[in-house]
Structure 1
Amino acid sequence: MLDLLKTFSWQELRQHPWRNAAAVVAVMLGVALAFSVHLINASALDEFSQAARSVGGQPDLELRGVQGQFDEALFGQVARMAEVAVASPVLEMETYALRPSGKRSLQVLGVDALVVARVAPDLMPLPDTPPGQSQPARDVLFAPGLVFLNTTAQALLTPAAAATSGTSSPADATTLKLQSGTTQVTAKVAGQVRSSGRALAVMDIGAAQELFGKQGLLSRIDVRLRPGVDRDAFIRTLRNLPHWPDQVSVTLPGDAQSQIDNLSRAYRVNLTVLALIALFTGAFLVFSVLSLSVAKRAQQFALLGVLGLSGRERLTLVLWESLALGVLGSACGLALGLGLAALALQLLGGDLGGGFFAGAAPKLQFSTGAAALYGALGVAAALVGGWWPARAAQRLPPAHTLKGLGDLNETPSAHRLSLLLIATGAILTSAPAVFGIPVAAYVSVALLLVGGITALLWLIGLLLARLTPWVAGHTLSLLAVARARHQRETAAVAVSGVVASLSLAVALTVMVASFRTSVTQWLDQVLPADLYVRSAASLSAADTVYFSPDFIQAAARLPGVAQLQAQRQVALQLDPQLPPVALIARELPNPAQNLPLVGAALAVPAGHIGIYVSEAVRDLHGASLGQTFAPLSKAFRPLALDSKAQAAPFFVAGVWRDYARQSGAIAIDRAVFVQLTGDERANDLALWLAAPQDAAQVQQALRSLSQAQGMAAANLMDFGTPGQIRATSLRIFDRSFAVTYWLQAVAIGIGLFGIAASFSAQVLARRKEFGLLAHLGLTRRQILTVVALEGAAWTVLGAMAGLGLGLVVSAVLVHVVNPQSFHWTMDLMLPWLRLGGLCVAVVLAGTLTAWVAARAAAIQNAVLAVKEDW
């Protein structure tokens, strides 16, 4: 019997290839999107992990500077300890290589070539052999001004040499200009290193300290312990050493990888959930296709039932068909997802818009487990979509159906279940995130969608009852509304796909509009000046690339500059398990106007220093409004250039929105920062001009000033007006969210196809009804009008339900999912014009598809269909 059922299913699928292809494509798209997103993120994480291991090596412990560098005297103390087998000093710096085409971000590592191979062999410099010599010079590893590049740096910084050089290294005899503070320094490429990942230059630690003015400073010490030494006990020994510096922390290898994994987890999960929307709507398309198939074969099922095929076997028959659709769609989706991931990694790298893996060029890492998981999800979606048509075939009454009296879509009332689902979803919105992932919020959205869709039966009956008096005077309209009201179970099934797709489209539209509007308003408040000048694009390079106090003072005196405000950024490691936060020292004469505060600012108590934390710092580090923030006092102490930073209590006087730094930012008045640290350097300059239209002349004057002070006039600074920065930021935003618009179109298309399939199924079952109407005097055009009006009534109800449900879901996305995922809030913005256009388009498309379905399937031979009962 099982083989017979498979044969029936296979024959049905082969007879209608185009109709079934739509369901296969829906499943395929859902699986492909989700699988490709997973592969891209997994490959990027794997590449980052390999690069971190390559750069960090495999030490037992890492002694790191909490805020940048620390005194190298600690190295001798640690290296002489009996428990230590090898101690490798490292100086890390972020800078820029100045090329004719622009600035290129570059990480510079100073290492001790005598010991680095024992801890991090991939960082061991490999000198090139000069022409005419049999081997490199012995002292080349320690010569000043020589750097050794990895493959990524060679490709970025020496493209011409790579194409023309015939030596073992494409970077042979290449000179690099590097930025150090407000000047440029020159280094010569003398070889390469095997380390992977982002662009990296390795040089002797003494040469690096001299070249960048970091004499006597280290960033970290990699420690390899002797066999048998207990690591935890050694850590306690280190921390109990007399005069152990507060600015040095003891960390385990892999902490940097854990930080980026934790920071990007919410982004990756949200992107995956967004991709799975196509699978959610694909399940409804499978439902529509199989509903059509079951409706067309209703009398066949009835005949099989009379001949002995049980209801359970009819259910199995339809599920076999949905299983076939799911398996085929999943297989195609996995292949398509693999291709999309490979293409995206080749064209875009590992950065999907979140900025976590920018600059990485990962290789595709195929995962059998992930392929099995997403393939199973595609099959499960198809089976879920086929379950209700299968149940309809199981419950089909054979005798009544043979006479054309059966109704495949009768479903029991589920008001209580709907209310329970909606209430549970509402309660879950108040649940906290789990490991930074809004799991409860995702479940809440799913319950709200399912609860809202299952409540359609009650909603349709209520609204059609209210609509009946309005059409009482129009025969065709009354006939359509009466029929829709009588068959509200059928209407609920027909519009469920539209409600699901439209509600998701509305939710995504509102979320993106709210986010974009909030970002625009945020940019307007944080960009009050006429011209902005930036030295370092990244926080990690802020201590290597900066403007000197002399340059800042000279820039303020330039003709055309009415006012200048300098801003300093410093990385603060408040928690070893979390990425550093940005300490922003800027002028704050009126914090309520200078910062986009959430709520009102508090008065700073006497004897305290006021700080203003971003929402991420409040959520991740517990910096509550009105409280003293003790972790900042400890982290702040090593910042002083004269080692005399005051241990002042910091008071959280305000919380502000910051859409630029997901790991968090703390704003402090620059005058207070300079008083505490003596650091008068700056990374960003904001200039108010006497005549804003003279911005180009002021830019040229700044270039001339930098050249006069020995800086790289063409490449050192980045300029931007508020309009340019706003346009660039919004362009990046729109590109990051472009996939959501495509998913909206896919969801709406699937929903409309569901309407067409449902109407086709119903009009096939109503051929006798149309024949009777024709006998009663209705013309072909009038019958088509009745069906079109039914389609309009159903899609209007679906649009209303989808709009309302979408607004509820959007509120959860805006007020729960985003704050729990990314630790920033936004205002809910409702783009009524766009939402209204979306609903009108759905109603018009639904009406048209109903009319086309009726014209194609119901009108032909409708009169002859009445004879089947004679």
Structure 2
Amino acid sequence: MRALLCTFSWQELRHHPWRNASAVVAVLLGVALAFAVHLINASALAEFSSAVSSVNGQPDVELRARQGALDDALLARVAAHPGVALASPVLEFPLQVIAPSGERMGVSLVGVDALVVAALSPALMPVTDTTQAPSGARRFDLFAPDAVFLNAAAQQALAGQTALQTGDGARLRVAGRVNAPGAPLLVMDVAAAQALSQREGELSRIDLRLAPGARASDVLAALQLPANVIAQRPEQSGERVSNLSRAYRVNLTVLALVALFTGAFLVFSVLSLSVARRQPQFALLGVLGLSSRERLRLVLAESALLGLLGSALGIALGTGLAALALRLLGGDLGGGYFKGETPPLLWRPWAAAVYLLLGVAASLVGGWWPARATARMAPALALKGLGAPPTPGAHRHTLALGLVLLAGALAWAPPVAGIPLAAYVSVGLLLVGGIAALPLGVGWLLDRVAPRITRHALPVLAVERARRLRETAAVATSGVVASLALSVALTVMVASFRDSVTQWLDAVLPAQLYVRSAGGAGDDHHLPPGFVAAVAQVNGVDRVDTLRATPLQLDPARPAVALLVRPLDTKPGATLSLPLVGHALPSPGVPEGERVIAVYVSEAMVDLYGAKPGAWLPAMAQAFAEPQVRGTRFFVAGVWRDYARQHGSVVMDRADFVRLTGDTRVNDLALHLREGADENAVLERIRAVAAQHGAQEQIEFASVGQIRANSLRIFDRSFAVTVWLQAVAIGIGIFGVAASFSAQVLARRREFGLLAHLGLTRAQILGVVALEGLAWTVLGAIAGLVLGLAVSLVLVHVVNPQSFHWTMDLVLPWARLLALCAAVVVAGTLTAWMAGQAAAGRDAVRAVKEDW
């Protein structure tokens, strides 16, 4: 019996390769995309984490400042403690050097103490170059003020240069190498690095190796570190790297699984039609003794075989796609989290096995309902042609409604470990429940259409068949409904996000011209004070607003928060140049002797740190030195939208920051021009001022239009992968319609032959088939559009806030959505017409004679 069942299944797969190939391709594409995204993210994250681990080394404890830099006076006190065996000072900052092509190239420079770094961070230990002179003659290069040591990436990028020039004109000598992996890196003596960067007395961190038997908690308690110094485990650096991109990686993986989800519906469609066509064969097997359980296992075995074949091919295709993407994109799919050298492909058998099982599971889920229908069939009645499955009753519709209600309830559930797992389940239940209710919707709509077309014979034939066989129509269009719904939801989500980002850029870029310190964003490059003062006096400049951006480490396990220092008009009735969510709150009264500083936090701060409007933010006080911050309390006066910093930002008035720190340095200038001033003329005057202060190589210019265009270009690049995933999902859905109509049309040759005997021409028969395709795909497009809009509400108002901690306004791009639906309808109609070509010829007429 088992051999007979295997032969039965094999013959079905062998004799109908086109129909079964559609299900295989659907699973193949779904697994390939999901596995490729996993490989790209895993490879990039592993390479980045490895580089961070090599540079940071493996100390027992790291000391960092919550805000700004560490005072290197702390080094002597820490190193003198008996519980500390080694204390290694480190200074890190980005540096621009002149590449062989003459262009500026960004590298990282790390200053270390060569006497102790080897014990804590061996990859940063300088190795002198002995090719030009004996090692003894160059041993003092480890401490030379102009000597740098390059890692492999820097040596390759700089093409073996032995002398380097920095962006601000300093000259450095290549004295050797270091073994640190990752992006281009330069290493030099820490004191020389302080002098080069004009950071005398500053350190980025102090790495500690504790004495044998010493406990970190006891040592830190004895050191009595200042409140603005934070101690962390070395592995927390890797955790921050992972947390930085986790939401992006998870959402991208879920989007990739969209194709696999759609593939499950296509397997359902293919097997449902296959089971319906083979009902006499299954009935014969039942009469011959095949039990209902064995018939269930037979159909599930077929679906598992389809899933296994598609998954195996998908793993191979996904590996190739990942290797190609890593070579072309360098591990960055548009999110901007992983930059630097191209990471090697990290292929692990367990990951391949997981995605292989996911593909098989999706196929089994798609085949479960057809398998149950086969198991519940009455063989004797079916063999006589009386075994048509009963029309689902109210319990089916109740189940569909229950799934939709459960989806709505789950959409309100909180995230799990920062991931909106319940929201993802809600999206899946919405789709399943909506597709389960398709027969009800098809019947309701066609019952109202049928009376209006009674005078037209061909439309009556098409509509009445779809009306009487609404289950078949629902099966055939389920793949289109699923793919179109997800595509509509993603289109709405991306359009809403882009529109919100556009409005946000208008709010945060009020000036016409911007001047920033060269070297990129961050707090490592500042504008010369004399230049800042002189710019305000340039003819044509009405007002100059300064901006300082500096990292603020509130939690060792989380990425740093951005502290933005800018002038704020906090007078009553004044309008803040911030896109606030709600209204600003007045500062409360405090006892005499205390001072209140109003700060404005981004939406991420509310989710991650509980910084709600009207609350106090005590963690801010720990970021500043104790004498200046004593008696100061930080009040959350409002929440603003910040699409540039996913992990939180705090805006503080510049006057308050300078009073607390005495630090007047700035990164950027926002120039408000006088009415009628020529922007180009103002630019030339500012360049002349920069030349007078020797800052012409330290500044960059950008107009508001350039910043806006560049920001939107980055946004579009970030969502380019989403567009491709939408296209694949739609393609799978159309492929499913093609397979469904091909199978049904070939099975209806006798019906078409009878219509030909009754006088219908071949063109009229093809017209009936095309009208059926039009009716079914229109129904699928309507259902997909409605379900997609429902899913978009979950994506916009739940998934994005829980994943990225920002909100957006819902935007419905009707022109794009209707064009998407129209494309699906046209493709489905053409597919039905082409499928009818093969079944409306002479074979259809001959097929009628088989019953005579």
Scaled by the length of structure 2, what TM-score is found? 0.94
What is the CA–CA distance in structure 2 between the aligned matches of 1:673 and 1:397, rounded to whole Å? 81
SS of equivalent residue, structure 2 residue 664: coil
What is the CA–CA distance in structure 2 between the aligned matches of 1:742 and 1:357, rounded to whole Å? 21
What is the CA–CA distance in structure 2 between the aligned matches of 1:15 and 1:409, rounded to whole Å? 29
Deviation at 1:312, TM superposition (A): 3.6
For residue 626 of structure 1, the aligned residue among 614, 618, 632 is 614
Equivalent position amino acid for 2:359 in 1 = G
- The superposition leaves residues 154-207 of structure 1 with CA deviations (integer Å, 9 ceiling, x where unpaired) of 233x13x3xxxxxxxxx4x2223155xxxx533222111111123222111222
SS of equivalent residue, structure 2 residue 105: strand
Equivalent position amino acid for 2:149 in 1 = F
Q: Is the contact between residue 178 and residue 186 of structure 1 (CA under 8 Å) also seen in structure 2?
A: no
The answer for the alignment partner of 1:705 in structure 2 is: 689
The answer for the alignment partner of 1:113 in structure 2 is: 114
**Residue 145 (structure 1) aligned with residue 130 (structure 2):** no
Equivalent position amino acid for 1:208 in 2 = A
What is the CA–CA distance in structure 2 between the aligned matches of 1:860 and 1:261, rounded to whole Å? 64
Equivalent position amino acid for 1:797 in 2 = L
Equivalent position amino acid for 1:571 in 2 = P
Deviation at 1:802, TM superposition (A): 0.9
Deviates more, 1:748-757 or 1:492-501: 748-757
SS of equivalent residue, structure 2 residue 323: helix
Deviation at 1:35, TM superposition (A): 1.1
For residue 234 of structure 2, the aligned residue among 248, 253, 269 is 253
**Residue 335 (structure 1) aligned with residue 323 (structure 2):** no
The answer for the alignment partner of 1:166 in structure 2 is: none
Equivalent position amino acid for 1:155 in 2 = Q
The answer for the alignment partner of 1:44 in structure 2 is: 44
Deviation at 1:137, TM superposition (A): 1.8
The answer for the alignment partner of 1:72 in structure 2 is: 72
The answer for the alignment partner of 1:165 in structure 2 is: none
1:568–1:636 CA distance, 2 compared to 1 (3 A): same
**Residue 356 (structure 1) aligned with residue 337 (structure 2):** yes
1:481–1:20 CA distance, 2 compared to 1 (3 A): closer
Deviates more, 1:694-703 or 1:657-666: 694-703
Equivalent position amino acid for 2:332 in 1 = D
SS of equivalent residue, structure 2 residue 819: helix
The answer for the alignment partner of 1:600 in structure 2 is: 583
Trace 1:830-869 onto structure 2 (pairs within 5 A).
830-857=812-839, 860-869=842-851
Q: Is the contact between residue 127 and residue 136 of structure 1 (CA under 8 Å) also seen in structure 2?
A: no
Deviation at 1:325, TM superposition (A): 2.1
Deviation at 1:135, TM superposition (A): 5.0
Deviation at 1:66, TM superposition (A): 2.0
Equivalent position amino acid for 2:166 in 1 = K
Q: Is the contact between residue 292 and residue 760 of structure 1 (CA under 8 Å) also seen in structure 2?
A: no
Q: Is the contact between residue 291 and residue 757 of structure 1 (CA under 8 Å) also seen in structure 2?
A: no
What is the CA–CA distance in structure 1 between the aligned matches of 2:677 and 2:370, rounded to whole Å? 68
SS of equivalent residue, structure 2 residue 347: coil
Q: Is the contact between residue 97 and residue 164 of structure 2 (CA under 8 Å) also seen in structure 1?
A: no
Trace 1:124-143 onto structure 2 (pairs within 5 A).
124-129=125-130, 131-133=132-134, 135-143=136-144
1:706–1:3 CA distance, 2 compared to 1 (3 A): farther
What is the CA–CA distance in structure 1 between the aligned matches of 2:746 and 2:116, rounded to whole Å? 81
SS of equivalent residue, structure 2 residue 332: coil
Equivalent position amino acid for 1:187 in 2 = L
Deviates more, 1:580-589 or 1:826-835: 580-589
Deviates more, 1:323-332 or 1:513-522: 323-332
Equivalent position amino acid for 2:62 in 1 = E
SS of equivalent residue, structure 2 residue 623: helix
Deviates more, 1:90-99 or 1:812-821: 90-99
The answer for the alignment partner of 1:167 in structure 2 is: none
Deviation at 1:860, TM superposition (A): 4.2
SS of equivalent residue, structure 2 residue 170: strand
Q: Is the contact between residue 226 and residue 625 of structure 2 (CA under 8 Å) also seen in structure 1?
A: no
What is the CA–CA distance in structure 1 between the aligned matches of 2:684 and 2:66, rounded to whole Å? 39
What is the CA–CA distance in structure 1 between the aligned matches of 2:209 and 2:657, rounded to whole Å? 38
- The superposition leaves residues 193-238 of structure 1 with CA deviations (integer Å, 9 ceiling, x where unpaired) of 1111232221112222222222233222211122222233333333
1:369–1:346 CA distance, 2 compared to 1 (3 A): same
Deviation at 1:537, TM superposition (A): 6.0
The answer for the alignment partner of 1:662 in structure 2 is: 646
What is the CA–CA distance in structure 2 between the aligned matches of 1:134 and 1:554, rounded to whole Å? 50
SS of equivalent residue, structure 1 residue 203: strand
What is the CA–CA distance in structure 2 between the aligned matches of 1:207 and 1:335, rounded to whole Å? 51
Q: Is the contact between residue 522 and residue 596 of structure 1 (CA under 8 Å) also seen in structure 2?
A: yes
The answer for the alignment partner of 2:542 in structure 1 is: 562
Equivalent position amino acid for 1:630 in 2 = P
SS of equivalent residue, structure 2 residue 632: coil
For residue 756 of structure 1, the aligned residue among 725, 732, 738 is 738
Equivalent position amino acid for 1:44 in 2 = A
Deviates more, 1:749-758 or 1:25-34: 749-758
Deviates more, 1:549-558 or 1:282-291: 282-291
Q: Is the contact between residue 129 and residue 135 of structure 2 (CA under 8 Å) also seen in structure 1?
A: no
Q: Is the contact between residue 23 and residue 282 of structure 1 (CA under 8 Å) also seen in structure 2?
A: yes
What is the CA–CA distance in structure 2 between the aligned matches of 1:746 and 1:93, rounded to whole Å? 43
1:121–1:10 CA distance, 2 compared to 1 (3 A): same
Deviation at 1:408, TM superposition (A): 6.7
Trace 1:54-65 onto structure 2 (pairs within 5 A).
54-65=54-65
Equivalent position amino acid for 2:118 in 1 = A
- The superposition leaves residues 560-596 of structure 1 with CA deviations (integer Å, 9 ceiling, x where unpaired) of 3233221111111122221111111122337745111
The answer for the alignment partner of 1:587 in structure 2 is: 567
The answer for the alignment partner of 2:417 in structure 1 is: 435
Q: Which runs of 4+ in 1 moved over 6 A?
A: none
What is the CA–CA distance in structure 1 between the aligned matches of 2:367 and 2:520, rounded to whole Å? 51
The answer for the alignment partner of 2:592 in structure 1 is: none
Q: Which ranges in structure 1 are unaligned for 5 or more consecutive residues?
A: 162-170
For residue 231 of structure 1, the aligned residue among 207, 210, 216 is 216
- The superposition leaves residues 728-761 of structure 1 with CA deviations (integer Å, 9 ceiling, x where unpaired) of 1111211221122222222222222222322333
**Residue 577 (structure 1) aligned with residue 557 (structure 2):** yes
SS of equivalent residue, structure 1 residue 137: helix
Q: Is the contact between residue 149 and residue 191 of structure 1 (CA under 8 Å) also seen in structure 2?
A: yes
Q: Is the contact between residue 764 and residue 858 of structure 1 (CA under 8 Å) also seen in structure 2?
A: no
The answer for the alignment partner of 2:294 in structure 1 is: 313
**Residue 482 (structure 1) aligned with residue 464 (structure 2):** yes
Equivalent position amino acid for 1:121 in 2 = P
Q: Is the contact between residue 291 and residue 761 of structure 1 (CA under 8 Å) also seen in structure 2?
A: no
What is the CA–CA distance in structure 1 between the aligned matches of 2:453 and 2:640, rounded to whole Å? 54
The answer for the alignment partner of 2:179 in structure 1 is: 194
For residue 212 of structure 1, the aligned residue among 197, 200, 215 is 197
Q: Is the contact between residue 614 and residue 666 of structure 1 (CA under 8 Å) also seen in structure 2?
A: yes
What is the CA–CA distance in structure 2 between the aligned matches of 1:348 and 1:739, rounded to whole Å? 12
Deviation at 1:626, TM superposition (A): 1.6
Deviation at 1:473, TM superposition (A): 3.2
Q: Is the contact between residue 33 and residue 275 of structure 1 (CA under 8 Å) also seen in structure 2?
A: yes
Equivalent position amino acid for 1:55 in 2 = V
Equivalent position amino acid for 2:795 in 1 = L
What is the CA–CA distance in structure 2 between the aligned matches of 1:703 and 1:802, rounded to whole Å? 57
**Residue 288 (structure 1) aligned with residue 277 (structure 2):** no
1:405–1:94 CA distance, 2 compared to 1 (3 A): same
SS of equivalent residue, structure 1 residue 861: helix
Deviation at 1:131, TM superposition (A): 2.2
Trace 1:404-803 onto structure 2 (pairs within 5 A).
407=388, 411=392, 413-535=395-517, 541-542=522-523, 544-589=524-569, 592=575, 594-605=577-588, 607-637=595-625, 644=628, 647-690=631-674, 694-711=678-695, 713=696, 715-803=697-785
What is the CA–CA distance in structure 1 between the aligned matches of 2:707 and 2:73, rounded to whole Å? 44
1:836–1:718 CA distance, 2 compared to 1 (3 A): same
What is the CA–CA distance in structure 2 between the aligned matches of 1:123 and 1:58, rounded to whole Å? 12
Q: Is the contact between residue 34 and residue 276 of structure 1 (CA under 8 Å) also seen in structure 2?
A: yes
